[in-house]
Amino acid sequence: MEEPLIPVVLMSHTAHIRSHRKPRRTGSTTLAMRAGVAGGVLSMAAAGASATASAAEPVTQTLELPTLTADLAAQVAESADATQQAAASYELQAERDAAAAAAAKEAKADLAEAKEKAEAKKKAAEAARKAAAERAARSAERATLATTSASTTASAPASGSVGTVISFLKAQLGDAYVMGATGPNAWDCSSLVQAAFKQVGVDLPRVSQDQSMAGTDVSLSNLQVGDILYWGGKGSAYHVGVYIGNGQYLDAANPSKGVVIQDLSGYPASGAVRVL
């Protein structure tokens, strides 16, 4: 009669925990012992039991992270180098952009300064040109008066013109002398002479220097009524008056005398010109 087979299941000490349970291999080795089986058969059965016990031991599986291979490590290193190079490139470009912006700003400032200097130089040159033109015009005017003195005198007026001049002058006797005054109650020497001859249409220059250049020169020994007397050099006279005959002249003398008649003997003239 055969003995019933008894299945033996060996479990791990952690098998009761769900997460530690491992799949069991299907099938099992049956340890059968038969009564009266020879010792060789018993030995085989024992060997089978030993194999079954080994098979029933829990199998532990270890998960290992993949190890970086040499190629993968090289790729990581290359990626890091590329990132560093890109960062350096961006930084260098930023520095170049900043330098370019600063250079552009400086160039703009230099251009503005150059324009201002050019404008100031242009204005100075224009002012100098204008001043030179004015000086040239004045010089030309004086040269014209000196070389064409006869042309500055109006045509001799009709008979009685000299009398008109003398009458006007005597009407101003007693008026005050004021430098720069032009009448009707105050005069300086040249404004009085100019106003007198204007009565007969003769347009004389305003100042003594220029009046000494007008008309025709006459000697002091050949004076006629109405001749203009001057004191100082011709073209640089400092005083003028009008000869009224009998060795006398009428002038706006000075602040203390005003408009008076004086004798030539007391204050001889330097020269004379005739415009009538």
Please indicate, yes or no, whether residues 192 and 128 belong to a single structural domain of this protein. Answer: no
Q: What is the pLDDT of residue 85?
A: 82
How many C-alpha atoms does 186 have within 13 Å on its Cβ side?
A: 9
Please indicate, yes or no, whether residues 212 and 253 belong to a single structural domain of this protein. Answer: yes
Phi-psi region of 178 (alpha: psi -120 to 50; beta: other; left: phi over 0): beta
Q: Report, in this order, helix, strand and coil percent for the chain, each rounded to 5.
A: 45, 10, 40
Nearest CA among 258, 266, 146 for reference residue 211:
146
Q: What is the pLDDT of residue 120?
A: 84
Please indicate, yes or no, whether residues 11 and 86 belong to a single structural domain of this protein. Answer: no
The residue among 123, 147, 171 that closes a domain is 147
Domain extent, residue 44, equals: 1-63
Number of domains in the chain: 3
Please indicate, yes or no, whether residues 14 and 101 belong to a single structural domain of this protein. Answer: no
Please indicate, yes or no, whether residues 130 and 188 belong to a single structural domain of this protein. Answer: no
Take residue 63 and report the two structure tokens written for it.
């998960």
Please indicate, yes or no, whether residues 171 and 243 belong to a single structural domain of this protein. Answer: yes
Q: What is the pLDDT of residue 252?
A: 97
Helix, coil or strand: residue 177:
strand
Tens place of pLDDT per residue across the chain (276 aa): 555 555 545 555 555 555 545 555 444 444 434 434 444 444 444 455 454 444 445 555 555 555 556 677 777 777 777 888 888 887 888 888 888 888 888 888 888 888 888 888 888 888 778 777 766 665 555 454 444 433 333 334 434 699 999 999 999 999 999 999 999 999 999 999 999 999 999 999 999 999 999 999 999 999 999 999 999 999 999 999 999 999 999 999 999 999 999 999 999 999 999 999
Take residue 86 and report the two structure tokens written for it.
């890109």
Please indicate, yes or no, whether residues 119 and 164 belong to a single structural domain of this protein. Answer: no
Please indicate, yes or no, whether residues 195 and 256 belong to a single structural domain of this protein. Answer: yes
